[in-house]
Amino acid sequence: MFLIAFLGGILTVLSPCILPVVPFLFAGVKRTRTSILLTLGGMALTFALISSLAVVSSDWVVQANNTGRHVALIVMVLFALSLISARIGGWLARPFVLLGNRLDPNTRKMSGPLGSVMIGVATGLLWAPCAGPILGVILTGAMLQGANAQTSLLLVAYGLGSALSLGTLIFAGRGLVNRLKPSIPVTGWLRRGAGAGVLVAAAVIATGTDNRLLAGTSSEGVTTVEQQVLETVPKVVDYLVSKVKADSMDAAKGAMPSLSGAVEWLNSPALSNDSLRGKVVLVDFWTYDCINCQHTLPYVKDWAKKYEKDGLVVIGVHTPEYGYERILDNVRDQVQKLGITYPVAIDNNYAIWRAFDNQYWPAHYLIDAKGQVRYSHFGEGRYETQEQMIRQLLEEAKAPAA
C-alpha cells in the first residue's frame, strides 16, 4: 500500500489540481539544491499532517486548519514580494539572519534553510490535490479508523511521490536558469516574473478563483491511470478493485443504507428511507472543494431538475475531505453559490459515508422505488449511462401503477 500511495503521489503532477501551487515551487528554481529539497520536504510533511488532522472532528482542528490557510497565503505574498524586490527580500530576511547570528555568531545561513522549510510548509497548507482513487482509499481509511501512524505514513508516502515528480520539474527548470546565468538581466526578469506569478496564484487561491478556473478541466484521464495502478499492484488487487471499481450495474445490491446521522439538512427537512419509499433516489457523495465533484455537479443538478416531476429525488451528501469543509457556514454559502436546490445532508461525522461503505468523491448511488441499491458509479464520466439508468428505474417505478 505504501508503494501504491507513492505512485499515486507521482501521478498528481498530471492532475489539474496541482496547478495552483506550481508557481510557488517554480519560483525557487534559482535556489540551491538543498533549499529546494527542504521546500519539497516541508510541503510533503505538512500535507500529510493536515490531511491526517482533517479526519479529526474537533472544532479547534477545523479552525486551526482554516487559520493555517490564511497564514500560508500571507507567507506566500511576502515570498512573492521578496522575489519582486531585492530590497524587500533583504528586509524580510533580516529577522532570520539576526536569529541565526544569535544561535551561531559564526554563520549567517540560518535564514536560508528556515525560509525554505517555511515556504514548503505554506505550500503544504494550500495544496489540496484531487482525491483520486488512491488518495480516496487512504483518506477513507483515516476517516473510518481515525488519525493513526499508518495513515500518516501513507500520506507521507503520497506527499513524497508528489514531491519527487514536482522536484523533477523544478530541477529541469533550474538547469534552464543556469544556462541563462550569463545573461543577468534575463535572470532578473525571470525572478521578478516568478514573484508576480506567486502573487497572482496567492490571490487566485484566496478568492476561490482557482476552483472556478479548474471547474472547466477534467481529471478523468488521471483517475483511469490511478485505477489501473490499483488493479495491477500485487497483493492488494482483490481488496482495492472491490472498493474502487468504476462502475456497476448489478440487478440489486441490497437495501438502501440509512440516511440518519447527518448533523444538518439543507433545502429540506431530514429525509429517511421510509419517507423515500416509492421514489427513485440518487445519492451523490460530494464535497464543495473537490474539483472532480464540481465537474459532475452540473449533470446532477440537471437530472434533479429534469426528472423531478417523474419521481426522482436527488440527495447530496456533503462529506468533508478537509477541515475547512466541516464549517457549516462554508457549506451553506457554497450550496447557495453553486445553485443547489435539492436536499443536502451535511455528513460531518461520516455516518452516512460509513453506512454506504463509500470510498470516493464523487460517488453516485441509484436506489429503485422498492428501496434497493441498483447502480453505483465512482468518479467522473459515464454520464449517459447514469442517465439511462435513471430513466430505466423511473419506468420500473411506473410499471406497477400501469
DSSP string, 172-234: HHHHHHHHTTT-HHHHHHHHHHHHHHHHHHHHHHHHTHHHHHHTT---HHHHHHHHHHHHHST
State which amino acid sits at residue 223.
Answer: T
Q: For the domain covering 246-398, report its CATH number.
A: 3.40.30.10
Using CA atoms, how far apart are residues 167 and 170, in angstroms rounded to an integer?
5
DSSP per-residue letters across 236-289: SHHHHHHHH-SEE--S---BPPP-TT-SEEESSSPP-TTTTTTSEEEEEEE-TT
Q: Which residue has the higher pLDDT, 356 or 148?
A: 356
Average pLDDT over residues 169-191: 60
User: Residue 400: exposed, middle, or buried by beta-carbon count in 10 A (0-12, 13-18, 19+)?
Assistant: exposed
Average pLDDT over residues 172-182: 59
Residue found under cell 471547474: 215
pTM for this one?
0.52
Please check whether residue 364 is in contact with residue 376, taking contact to mean a CB–CB distance below 8 angstroms.
Answer: yes
Cis peptide before 269 (omega within 30 of 0): no
Please check whether residue 169 is in contact with residue 36, taking contact to mean a CB–CB distance below 8 angstroms.
Answer: no
Whether the pLDDT of residue 135 is over 50: the answer is yes
Average pLDDT over residues 4-11: 72
pLDDT in tens, 217-256: 656 666 677 666 666 664 444 444 444 444 444 444 688 9
Pick the closest to residue 155 from 372, 31, 322 (CA basis): 322
State which amino acid sits at residue 43.
Answer: M
Using CA atoms, how far apart are residues 115 and 121, in angstroms rounded to an integer?
10
Cell numbers that stand for 389 in this block: 439508468
Sequence-distant (6+) residues with CB within 8 A of 30 are 174, 177, 187, 190, 191
- Residue 92's SS3 state is helix
pLDDT in tens, 354-386: 899 888 888 999 999 999 999 999 888 889 999
Using CA atoms, how far apart are residues 397 and 369, in angstroms rounded to an integer?
6
Average pLDDT over residues 309-319: 94
Please report, to the nearest 10 degrees, the dihedral formed by the alpha carbons of residues 202, 161, 153, 292 taken in order: 60
Write down the domain spans for the chain.
Answer: 2-222, 246-398
pLDDT in tens, 75-117: 777 766 766 676 665 566 556 555 445 544 444 444 557 667 7
Pick the closest to residue 362 from 305, 314, 313, 308 (CA basis): 314
